[in-house]
Structure 1
Amino acid sequence: MSRVLLNCDIGESFGVWSMGLDAEVMPLIDCANIACGFHAGDPTVMRKTVALALEHAVKIGAHPGYPDLVGFGRRSMECSSAEIEDLLHYQIGALQGVCQAQGGRVDYVKPHGALYNDMMANPRVLLAVMNAIARYDGELPLMLLSTRDNREAQSMASKIGITLWFETFADRAYDSAGRLVSRGLPGAVHHEPERIVAQAQRLANQQPLTASDGSTLLLKTDTLCVHGDNAGSIAAVKRIRQALELIAA
């Protein structure tokens, strides 16, 4: 990639329940990870979110998760490799249908929540996700967590023939392996806007971070994940957007 892209999980409302500030964050991002109905979202929300993304020329990403509306897709499920492929094909296909009806298309895939975490922890799950994408459309990149050592994931993707986009987070702490520190631990999530923007700048400039154990950590960054759940997060995204534009200038 020629520049770092901002991505955001979006389209997470469901029925009468409204989640996030989608209209406010969409003009500020490059990539919209749109929920596909299994962990959040519904057909009407998907249609409206796709329309919003197309209006602002934002890349559309399928954001498939486990079939877990009650747990917002944050609970792991015991699924066979075939079941993982099936649930990805079902969700990507649904979003692609919504996109096609509006003259758009799915541009990439980013698994959600527990499926994303399981993919990063279990090579079998990662292989199933990669195979699902390759069999659906091998041109679709897979967005996944950048860690200290990405060689295994890159080797798997090269053999299967798909592209990887390595993702980092401006508002999260990292351990020495480049994994996200568990949200249950103190300091796992950064809340201060200055710190979030500073970390975003370091990641975009491919500069090292300090891991939770004090070690130096360098992470490949193709795309930065940001959040648009509240007014404070929108303000932070605006500052990150401005910072990235200065870097690219």
Structure 2
Amino acid sequence: MRFGNVFGLLFAALVPVTVSACEGDCIVGITNAFLTNYTSPIEFVMDNVAKQISNMLPAHPGLETSRNYLRPILDSYENDAYNGMETAIFPSYFHGKCQQDGVDPPGCPNPDCPVVCGTPGSLVHFYGKLRYIAFNQTRYHLQTLATPGSDAYKQVEQAVLDADGAKTRRMIRIYERSGPYGTVPSFLTKREDDTRTKLQDIMRNVGSMLLQTCGGSEDGETNGLADCSWEKAMKEYILSFP
């Protein structure tokens, strides 16, 4: 599937100022453009996860209900996504002005100087790398939140266990009527352990699901991600900054 250029006119109101590198509005605008473009792929992945959770629960709740179980992950992602994305692009790879120890290397400014420039021209020149920086940061952030031990994951797990609880309580009452009371705790423990294991099996694939959604490959580093590239529109937007 190919996701549209969803950032559209959202950033049209930004008025770039004259800069010698991507600074200020340029950094904020490009960071937000990638975050906005990834909204649709992330929503697609979360819908997939929600469907799998629904299938594993006895009551098979609807998509909207299952999506609500995942709200802690989405909220945490939205709260922290900007800082992580900006840092991954600026200055982790693109270093502002093309300088070494404050001095322009021979032939600079140009996109192939020894220090990767942070100018709009350099961002476009290295767009194949830039798209992977944005993707890898998004995948890493989502997978971290979807991994057992994170606060967001703990909340999701508890919501799923609670959703499974009604069925579990009914089965416990049957055990209590038909067998020794001592069988109830072991049954309850096994039931919860099984639910936890199934949830972990689903959530550990969040990063891989995003990769598949974006049409990428595990060993790709540049010029891949056919469905999460937005190359033409993003290059035009980047070059709108001096």
User: Structure 1 length normalisation: TM-score?
Assistant: 0.24
Q: Which has the higher strand share?
A: 1
Q: Which has the higher helix share?
A: 2
User: Structure 2 length normalisation: TM-score?
Assistant: 0.25
For the pair shown, which has the larger CA radius of gyration, 1 or 2?
2
Relative contact order (C-alpha < 8 Å, sep 6+): which is higher?
Answer: 2
